[in-house]
Amino acid sequence: MSAGVSASTGRVAARRDAAAGTARRFHRSRVARRGYGWLLIAILTTIVLLFPLYWMAVTSVTPITDLLTLHPPIVPALSHLELSNYSATFRTYPVLSWLANSALITVGTVALSLVVSVPAGYALSRMGAGGATSAGLLMLVTRVIPGTLLLIPFFVMFSTLHLLNTLQGLVLADTTIIVPFAAWLLKGFFDSVPRELEQAALVDGCSQWTAFVRVVVPLASPGIGATAIYAVILGWSDYLFSKTLLIDPTHWTITVGAASLISDLTVNWSGLMAMGVISVVPMIIAFVVLEPFLVSGMAAGSVVG
């Protein structure tokens, strides 16, 4: 694997210097060793990547007349901004109902998904080779079916079960989409918890269930956290099933409500962006709070190590 000659220090140093770009030379200086070069790149990258969100926020508070020009104010003067779009949106549409529906569905989806996938992931993990194959297959099977294909069967099944136009029905629908991937993800985490631990618990007199709940689950909590965040994002963002299974506008989720405004507010871009901001802010807050758990969860489980 060695990529070059490393006989004497002098030759290595010379080679290193010769191969060095600016970055290498930077390492000599104290300032650069703290990584300020990378910080600068990170700042620039983030500005570009997050510009759409910035633009959505700025546009939502800029008067529409300022925007319908050939020179939109990229960085607008603060004195020009106004919040009238937000008050108008809340007045005209049942936005608070929509937000409440989304929140309820999201919480329900996370709860139900975890209740179903955590034991399933554990079972798949402990069932040996058969478990590994079925977990992988199960996960992939749900990734090959287009969502649009499920609409009519779901509609038919849910109306038979009287779950149409209900929040519970949607929780069920979202959960079934999430469970296979979540179970597979959790299997990976449970794989990293040694069996000896629950065997020791069994020797000490625990039942299998108690051993599972008291010993194994706490150890896999980073993975459970990561799965929960995944379920939160999917539950809140869902549009396809919400649109199909929820009929009354008062039962809509925020995503369906926001989409319904696209045709309503064709020229009122500021109003539409205000709706966008309203839809996104709760998710952004949740994400900012939960994201550290997501990353540490993914790394800790060495999901793809």
Partner 1 sequence: MVTRPPAGRSVQGRRRRSRNGSADGSRFFYPALLAPAVVLGLFVIGYPLYLIIDASIRDVGLPNMAALNSAPVTGANFTALGSDPLFRQALWVSLLYTLGGTLPAFLLGLGTALLLNRRFPLRRIFRTLTLLPWAVPSVVCSFLFLWIVNASYGVLNYLLLRAHLITQYVPWLASLRWSIVGVIIPTVWKSYPFFTLLILAALQVIPVELYEAAKVDGARAWATFRRITWPGIQNAAYLALVLQLLWTFREFEIIYPITAGGPANTTQTLAIYLYNEVFQFFHMGYASALGVVTVVICVAIVVAMFPLLRRTLWRS
38 CB-contact burial (10 Å; exposed 0-12 / middle 13-18 / buried 19+)? exposed
Which window, 77-85, 92-100, 145-153, 216-224, contacts partner 1 (CB under 8 A)?
Answer: 145-153
**Number of Cβ within a 10 Å radius of residue 140:** 12
CB of 39 to partner 1, least distance (A): 4
CB of 150 to partner 1, least distance (A): 5
The residue behind tokens 């005209």 is 92
* Among the listed residues 28, 30, 91, 143, the single contact to partner 1 using CB under 8 A: 143
214 touching partner 1, by CB under 8 A: no
Centroid of chain to Cα 233 = 4
Number of residues that bind partner 1 (CB under 8 A): 120
191 touching partner 1, by CB under 8 A: yes
* Among the listed residues 163, 164, 185, 303, the single contact to partner 1 using CB under 8 A: 303
Reduced to 3 states, what is the DSSP secondary structure of residue 146? Answer: coil
Whole-Å CA distances, 181 to 13, 114, 176: 49, 12, 10
Q: Please name the residue ranges forming H helices in 127-163.
A: 128-143, 147-160
- What six digits make up the tokens of 270? 């500021």
Amino acid at 248: D
62 touching partner 1, by CB under 8 A: no
Q: Which of residues 75-114 bind partner 1 (CB under 8 A)?
A: none
Of the candidates 207, 198, 193, 205, which has an alpha carbon nearest to the alpha carbon of residue 302? 193
**Number of Cβ within a 10 Å radius of residue 261:** 18
CB of 102 to partner 1, least distance (A): 9
Q: How far apart are CA 156 and CA 162, in angstroms?
A: 10
Which window, 38-46, 77-85, 93-101, 215-223, contacts partner 1 (CB under 8 A)?
Answer: 38-46
10 touching partner 1, by CB under 8 A: no
193 vs 258, which CB is nearer to partner 1? 258
* Among the listed residues 81, 83, 96, 140, the single contact to partner 1 using CB under 8 A: 140
Provide the CB-side half-sphere exposure for 248 (13 A, CA).
Answer: 10
- What six digits make up the tokens of 79? 């004195």
Reduced to 3 states, what is the DSSP secondary structure of residue 297? Answer: helix
Which window, 76-84, 90-98, 203-211, 214-222, contacts partner 1 (CB under 8 A)?
Answer: 203-211
Q: Which of residues 167-186 bind partner 1 (CB under 8 A)?
A: 172-173, 175-176, 179-180, 183
123 touching partner 1, by CB under 8 A: yes
Q: Which of residues 242-301 bind partner 1 (CB under 8 A)?
A: 255, 258-259, 262, 269, 272-273, 276, 279-280, 283-284, 286-288, 291-292, 294-295, 298-299
